[in-house]
């Protein structure tokens, strides 16, 4: 099992390697497919020398490992050492980029409880230091993905922390965000979308 820093236990890990599942506890498997598609997109960008972008590893401390076979290791207990920042970072056109990817099944709004304060603070710092920070919001049931620059997102975040609005309406995201084109290769061409407003950063 994997435990958070406050010692709360998560779902158990059962894999015949030394890996820990990438699924986030609060979302179960909802974000797995989205992350896989982003990873494949990043691999395409790398192979075609478009950009170098990778998923950030989550720092963990392994406490207990079983070795049922010499060639396999099963992590039985581990702790997240600290809260992670955002999902992905890298370099594109000489600019540092950093972003968080989120999934919702909601068709009418995006719940802001899915975003953590330390992630927002991190993205603000990236922007302040000349980097590009944004969110990729996947409305899975609508099969639509939107890019929201951090500076646009802050309007909604401030309403959230002031207990005014708990979510971003879908229509607002459609109006203020940028629809990301989905292809065969690359699967989620978010850099093409970024090109639409990169000059404003």
d(CA 179, CA 25): 27
Residue 44: DSSP 8-state: H
User: Which residues, in sequence order, are CB contacts of 70 under 8 Å at separation 6+?
Assistant: none
Domain map (residue ranges) of the chain: 1-20+58-82, 27-57+85-200
Q: What is the pLDDT of residue 29?
A: 55
Fold of 27-57+85-200: Trna Endonuclease; Chain: A, domain 1 (3.40.1350)
d(CA 52, CA 42): 7
Q: What is the pLDDT of residue 136?
A: 97
d(CA 166, CA 189): 29
List the pLDDT tens digit at each of the 201 positions of the chain.
445 444 444 443 333 333 333 334 344 455 578 999 999 999 999 999 999 999 976 655 555 667 777 667 776 554 544 456 788 999 999 999 999 999 999 999 999 998 999 999 999 999 999 999 999 999 999 999 999 999 999 999 999 999 999 999 999 999 999 999 999 899 999 999 999 877 655
Q: What is the pLDDT of residue 1?
A: 47
List Cβ<8 Å contacts ≥24 apart for 28-31. Answer: 30/103, 30/105, 30/140, 31/101, 31/102, 31/103
User: Which residues, in sequence order, are CB contacts of 50 under 8 Å at separation 6+?
Assistant: 44, 92, 191
d(CA 63, CA 175): 47
Q: What is the pLDDT of residue 23?
A: 38
103: left (phi over 0), alpha (psi -120 to 50) or beta: beta
């Amino acid at each position: 099992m994997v435990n958070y820093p406050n010692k709360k236990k998560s779902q158990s890990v059962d894999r015949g390697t030394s890996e820990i599942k990438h699924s986030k506890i609060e979302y179960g498997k909802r974000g797995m497919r989205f992350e896989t598609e982003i990873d494949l997109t990043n691999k395409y960008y790398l192979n075609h020398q478009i950009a170098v972008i990778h998923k950030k590893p989550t720092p963990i401390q392994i406490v207990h490992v079983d070795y049922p076979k010499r060639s396999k290791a099963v992590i039985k207990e581990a702790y997240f050492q600290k809260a992670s920042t955002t999902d992905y970072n890298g370099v594109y056109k000489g600019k540092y980029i950093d972003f968080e990817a989120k999934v919702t099944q909601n068709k009418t709004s995006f719940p802001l409880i899915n975003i953590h304060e330390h992630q927002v603070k991190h993205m603000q710092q990236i922007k302040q230091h000349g980097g590009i920070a944004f969110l990729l919001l996947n409305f899975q049931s609508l099969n639509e993905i939107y890019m929201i620059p951090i500076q646009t997102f802050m309007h909604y975040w401030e309403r959230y922390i002031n207990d005014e609005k708990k979510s971003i309406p879908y229509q607002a995201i459609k109006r203020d965000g940028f629809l990301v084109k989905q292809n065969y290769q690359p699967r989620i061409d978010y850099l093409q979308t970024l090109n639409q407003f990169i000059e404003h950063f």
